[in-house]
């Protein structure tokens, strides 16, 4: 796929697939829908309020009812109703400037009850009530050296925050985050805090939370726990010391800035033989980037 075939711009910043199987491609010159043969491009038009807020698409997330959440490099966010073609401008650049905040490229999500949660460039967590247009900063009681690495909503509508030291779960009854200490040293090679990288953070079908740094996969089971937080069940796997990317095969589309990989299993033969002996091999395909 290229500009010659209909892409509006050669730099691809985001990919998503809708319920009908169409692939949506974010670029720096608009949003394109690919049906397997042709592209249809959506762009910003100055005199059309029902057009994209910007042409510089930064990230995409699939919404409910076949909708698409669009984040721009300006950090504004739109909701695109794919079925009707209507675009709602949820947060614009003016709102962010007024509140002196920015939204991280990947550390954001829209919950099932229609709240936008996001990390700011100042290592803070905010939630935004989309219906009532109310913005609120959350107090995480972070240590001075503690960094937020991602945010997740689980199947039970709980909000989780991942740092290099703790998992934090939002308790709606008392309106505050509770802390669960992680018994490992993680993110020794820190992700670049450049508004681009985010740690994998995902809930498996069995309910476990899973994440990864550049050396290990980590798993946490919030169900199999004893009476004290320190007894929550954690475990981990070591990743080969090479550039490895994880493809999730539990019906979840991989979110990545690269969308074409050359698959090579050279050097993984012995490791994969051991990996297949575990009950987790079905969760991953390991591929080395060419």
% residues pLDDT > 90 (the chain): 48
| Residue (of 24, 51, 47) closest to 35 by Cα position | 24
pTM of the model: 0.76
- Residues 194 and 196: their CA atoms lie apart, in Å, by 5
Give 3-state DSSP helix, strand, coil % of the chain, rounded to 5. Answer: 10, 40, 50
Query: What pLDDT does residue 114 have?
Result: 93
229: left (phi over 0), alpha (psi -120 to 50) or beta: alpha
Mean pLDDT of the region 22-48:
93
Question: Is residue 11 pLDDT above 60, yes or no?
Answer: yes
49, 248, 258, 266 from 219: Cα distances, Å: 45, 14, 25, 27
266: left (phi over 0), alpha (psi -120 to 50) or beta: beta
pLDDT tens column, 255-287: 333 332 322 333 333 333 343 444 333 333 333
Note whether 213 and 185 are within 8 A (CB): no
Average pLDDT, the chain: 77
pLDDT tens column, 125-147: 999 999 999 999 999 999 988 99
- Residues 123 and 186: their CA atoms lie apart, in Å, by 18
Mean pLDDT of the region 74-95:
92
Q: Which domains does the chain have, with CATH numbers?
A: 1-90 (2.40.10.500), 101-222 (2.130.10.10), 240-290 (no CATH)
- Residues 126 and 228: their CA atoms lie apart, in Å, by 28
Question: Is residue 6 pLDDT above 90, yes or no?
Answer: no
Higher pLDDT, 8 or 196: 8
Query: What pLDDT does residue 113 have?
Result: 92
Question: Is residue 204 pLDDT above 60, yes or no?
Answer: yes
């Amino acid at each position: 796929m290229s500009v010659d075939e209909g892409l509006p711009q050669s730099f691809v910043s985001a990919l998503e697939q809708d319920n009908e199987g169409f692939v949506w491609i974010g670029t720096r010159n608009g949003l394109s829908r690919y049906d397997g043969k042709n592209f249809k491009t959506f762009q910003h038009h100055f005199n059309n309020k029902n057009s994209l807020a910007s042409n510089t698409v930064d990230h995409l997330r699939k919404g409910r009812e076949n909708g698409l959440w669009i984040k721009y490099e300006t950090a504004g966010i739109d909701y695109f109703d794919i079925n009707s073609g209507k675009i709602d401008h949820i947060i614009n650049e003016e709102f962010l400037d007024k509140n002196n905040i920015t939204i991280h490229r990947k550390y954001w999500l829209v919950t099932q009850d229609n709240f936008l949660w996001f990390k700011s460039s100042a290592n803070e967590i905010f939630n935004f009530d989309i219906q009532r247009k109310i913005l609120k900063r959350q107090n995480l009681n972070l240590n001075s050296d503690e960094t937020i690495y991602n945010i997740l909503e689980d199947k039970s509508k709980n909000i989780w925050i991942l740092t290099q030291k703790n998992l934090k779960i939002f308790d709606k009854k008392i309106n505050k985050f509770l802390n669960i200490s992680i018994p490992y040293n993680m993110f020794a090679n820190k992700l670049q805090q450049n508004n681009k990288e985010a740690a994998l953070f995902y809930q498996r079908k069995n309910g476990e939370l899973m994440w990864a740094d550049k050396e290990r996969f980590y798993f946490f089971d919030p169900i199999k726990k004893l009476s004290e937080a320190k007894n929550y069940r954690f475990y981990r796997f070591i990743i080969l010391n090479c550039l490895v990317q994880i493809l999730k095969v539990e019906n979840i589309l991989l979110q990545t800035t690269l969308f074409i990989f050359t698959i090579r299993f050279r050097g993984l033969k012995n490791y994969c033989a051991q990996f297949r002996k575990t009950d987790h091999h079905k969760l991953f395909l390991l591929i080395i980037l060419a």
